[in-house]
């Protein structure tokens, strides 16, 4: 009898452990441009009780059965250098990643949370690449000051949600993740 109880307890523990791992893998985050902005999005996700897995250099081959890929755009020459890649390699990495996510049925959320201050030639290059491949886009106030996002999205069936600040991304994130079945 004692062995049966121990087996039952171990089985329950394993089920709980794997259920937690499954929940943790529903959302995966990566940076497009290697800026630290992706860390702030992870904090916002944690605030809404979503365990987003952060992989700064996530490659297509690394995708599993996540429901959502969050790509946070912010170009950083220093970040690219520390990662040991250049802008062209970063573009190739993210294009392959998003293409594979689409093949697997993973929703793609593109975020730009740096506002006007995180815009510039490098970030704009990454924005032009990623935004047309998104299912939805979240932009912090000032990020679309020149209409770049709006222009890219014109005529496309991709919703852009805005937020006043990084902290303000909580509401659009909750809305999107509820629509996509991550938040129940």
- The number of angstroms, rounded, from the C-alpha of 122 to the middle of its chain's C-alpha atoms is 19
- pLDDT level of residue 8 (50, 70, 90 thresholds): very low
| 136-141 mean pLDDT | 96
pLDDT of residue 23: 41
For the chain, the average pLDDT equals: 88
Burial degree of 129 (CB within 10 A; 0-12, 13-18, 19+): buried
Contact 30/75 with Cβ under 8 angstroms?
no
pLDDT of residue 7 exceeding 90: no
DSSP assignment, residue 114? S
What confidence tens digit (pLDDT) does each residue in 63-117 have? Answer: 999 999 999 999 999 999 999 999 999 999 999 999 999 999 999 999 999 988 8
Which of 39-62 are b and which e, b meaning 16 or more Cβ less than 10 Å from the residue's Cβ?
ebbbebbeebebebbbeeebebee
- pLDDT level of residue 2 (50, 70, 90 thresholds): low
pLDDT of residue 25: 59
pLDDT of residue 117: 84
pLDDT of residue 18 exceeding 80: no
> Minimal CA–CA distance to 74: which of 114, 109, 40?
114
Q: Token pair for residue 59?
A: 């490659």
Q: Is 118 left (phi over 0), alpha (psi -120 to 50) or beta?
A: alpha
Give the integer Cα–Cα distance in Å for 179 and 116.
28
* pTM for the model: 0.85
Looking at the chain, list the stretches that DSSP marks H as alpha helix, in order from N- to C-terminal side.
2-24, 37-47, 77-83, 87-103, 121-130, 148-153, 170-179
pLDDT of residue 90: 96
pLDDT of residue 6 exceeding 70: no
pLDDT of residue 156 exceeding 80: yes
Packing angle of the helix pair 170-179, 37-47 (nearest 10 deg): 70
pLDDT of residue 122 exceeding 60: yes
């Amino acid at each position: 009898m004692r062995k049966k109880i121990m087996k039952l307890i171990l089985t329950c523990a394993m089920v709980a452990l794997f259920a937690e791992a499954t929940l943790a893998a529903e959302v995966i985050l990566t940076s497009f441009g290697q800026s630290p902005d992706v860390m702030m999005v992870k904090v916002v996700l944690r605030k809404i009780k979503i365990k987003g897995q952060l992989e700064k250099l996530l490659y297509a081959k690394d995708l599993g059965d996540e429901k959502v890929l969050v790509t946070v755009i912010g170009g950083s020459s220093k970040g690219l250098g520390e990662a040991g890649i250049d802008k062209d390699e970063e573009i190739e990495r993210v294009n392959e990643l998003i293409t594979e996510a689409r093949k697997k049925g993973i929703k793609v959320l593109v975020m730009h949370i740096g506002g006007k201050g995180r815009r510039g030639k490098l970030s704009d290059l990454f924005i032009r690449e990623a935004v047309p491949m998104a299912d939805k886009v979240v932009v912090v106030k000032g990020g679309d000051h020149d209409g770049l996002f709006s222009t890219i999205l014109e005529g496309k069936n991709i919703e852009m949600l805005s937020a006043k600040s990084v902290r303000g991304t909580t509401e659009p994130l909750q809305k999107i993740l509820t629509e996509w079945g991550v938040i129940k």
